[in-house]
A and B are shown apart, each in its own frame.
Chain A
Amino acid sequence: QVQLVESGGGVVQPGGSLRLSCAASAFTFSSYGMHWVRQAPGKGLEWVAFIRSDGSNKNYADSVRGRFTISRDTSKNTLYLQMNGLRAEDTAVYYCAQDLLDWGQGTLVTVSS
């Protein structure tokens, strides 16, 4: 059973930084592209970032490009999202997903002073 467990969420002030992690298990992590998707309170899903299985290609939503960085560590079976310059509108539950097939339960990020 594929398992994806996000961590690292919390409350941060505007302009601050957070690093989210997504620990993957029960599948060959190095074989799959991985996404971060977020959902603001009461809103719909928003695609945030993607990284290819080998980490060679990655891209971002316009709303986060230049502020967020997606990365992966195959030796640790872990996906990361480094979030800098956080804004109130980044407040959301952040999900990691394996090729959109399997999803974690999400971690809540709240940007507030």
Chain B
Amino acid sequence: QSALTQPRSVSGSPGQSVTISCTGTSSDVGGYNSVAWCQQHPGKAPKLMTYDVTKRPSGVPDRFSGSKSGNTASLTISGLQAEDEADYYCCSFAGSYTWVFGGGTKLTVL
């Protein structure tokens, strides 16, 4: 159960696009189409932004999109807005009813 690997930080200007990567192994990210991304603002509970790699829960803007290639999943945020500044965590099913999170990425909107 090793944590998935995410960049510590990314940044972008309003209106730009940013992509956050999440690298695992064939036992988690690469082995299942069950990758999710959560957003967390300081002092708040996490909020699910995407699940099952590409799906979005109701109410999440389509500016947020997920994808996966091999053992690496990605979250792309287009048309960056100030309120997107937050920590983002990937999470993958890892078999046998276990899950694993990434270490988290701090997104700064310049």
* Interface residues of A, Cβ cutoff 8 Å to B: 35, 37, 44-47, 50, 52, 57-63, 95, 97, 100-106
Determine which of B47, B87, B91, B103 lies in contact with A47 in the assembled complex, contact meaning CB atoms within 8 Å: B91
Contact status A59-B46, CB under 8 Å = no
Chain B: number of interface residues, binned into ranges: 20 to 34
- Cα distance A105–B43 when bound, in Å? 9
The answer, yes or no, to whether B96 is at the interface (CB within 8 Å) is yes
Question: CB-CB < 8 A to A46: which residues of B?
Answer: 101
* Interface residues of B, Cβ cutoff 8 Å to A: 1, 3, 36, 38, 40, 45-48, 51, 57, 87, 89, 91, 96-104
Contact status A45-B46, CB under 8 Å = yes
Contact status A104-B45, CB under 8 Å = yes
Determine which of B1, B87, B99 lies in contact with A50 in the assembled complex, contact meaning CB atoms within 8 Å: B99
